Amino acid sequence: MSLRRLCRGAALLTLLSLALSGLVGSQSLSAPHWALADGFERARLRAAIWSERRLLPGSVEIQDRVARGAGRALAITVHPGHDPLGDGSDRAELAEAEAVRLRFGQEVWYGFSMRIAGPIPADGNRIVIGQWHHAGPGSPFVAQRFRDGIFHITVQDGACRLRIAWQPGGAEGNRRGCRVAVERFADLPPSDSGWIDMVYHIRADPGGDGLVEVWANGRKIARATGAIGYENMTLQFFKFGPYRDRVDYPTTVYLDNFRRGASYAQVDPARIRVVAE
C-alpha cells in the first residue's frame, strides 16, 4: 500500500472518530475537523460543544413548542437581575466550549436560525444577541446588536466600532478612525419578523486583511474588509443569548440549526437541516 493511501486512510479514520464522538454532529466526512453542528434535539445541551458558565438556572430550555421546523430548538431567557458575572448587566449566554474554540484569525463560516420573542429593550437601552468574542478584554469583534428594537451588526477595529448592516429604520454608525471598508447590499430583516436564518463568513485580522460577510434569509446583506479585531489575541469563540442593560422584564430568544464549517453550503440553515443526533 502506498504512503499516500495510508495517510488518506488515517485522515478518514480521524474524521470518522470525531463524528462518532459527537464533535461534528451530522457533518459530512469532507468537513474540517473543527466543524460543529447542533440541532438541539437532545434532552440536554452537549458539553462537547457548549459552555453554560454564563447561564443561571432557569435560563435555558430545549423545547418543541417553537422550532425552525420539525423537532426542537433552544430557548434562552434572561430575567431581571440574572447577572452571573456580577457586572451589573442582565445576561444569559451560551458559549462555545473551550475545547472547540478556534485560534484568533481562523477563517470560518457560521450558520444558525434565530428568533427574537422579545420584548426587546427600548428607550436607548442596548441588547446584544449573538457575538464573536476573543480571549481578552474589549467588545466582541463582531456582534448582533439591538437598540430601540433596531437590529444592526457591528465590527470592531480595536476600540473603533463600525455599524455594517441594519434593518429598515436603522442608520450608519460612526466611521471615524475605523480602517474598515463596507459594501451594503440589502437591509437586515426586522427583529420581529419571526425566524431569521443567519450566515456569517468571518476572518479577524487587526493588520488589515479581515473579512466579515453577512447573509440573512439567503440574501447577502453586507461585506466588510480591513482591520477587524484586536492585536495580540489568541482564541475566538461564538456566544448566543441576551446580554443587556438591566430592565424589569424577561426577554426570550430561540436558537436552532447551529453549524460551524468551511463554506456557505456547509452552514446554511435553510439548505441543510441538522438532524436528530
What angle (nearest 5°) sits at the alpha carbon of residue 21, between those of residues 15 and 26?
A: 70
pLDDT the model gives residue 8: 45
CB 215 within 8 A of CB 221: yes
Determine the pLDDT at residue 96: 97
Q: What is the pLDDT of residue 22?
A: 36
In the structure, what pLDDT confidence band is assigned to residue 89 with cuts at 50, 70 and 90?
A: confident
Cα–Cα distances (Å) from 105 to 24, 92, 141, 212, in that order, read: 21, 26, 11, 12
In this prediction, residues 74-83 reach a mean pLDDT of: 92
- The residue among 44 and 175 whose pLDDT is bigger is 44
Confidence of residue 273 (pLDDT cuts 50, 70, 90): low
Phi/psi for 97 (5° steps) reads -65, 150
pLDDT tens digit sequence for 147-203: 878 899 999 999 999 999 999 988 777 677 899 999 999 999 998 899 999 999 999
Q: What is the pLDDT of residues 90-125, one digit of tens each?
A: 999 999 999 999 999 999 999 999 999 877 877 778
Grid look-up 464549517 returns: 261
Mean pLDDT, residues 68-96: 90
Residue-wise DSSP of 240-269: EEEEES--SS-EEEEEEEEEEESSHHHH-T
Mean pLDDT of 237-265: 94
Q: Radius of gyration over alpha carbons of the chain, in Å?
A: 19
Domains of the chain: 35-267 (2.60.120.200)
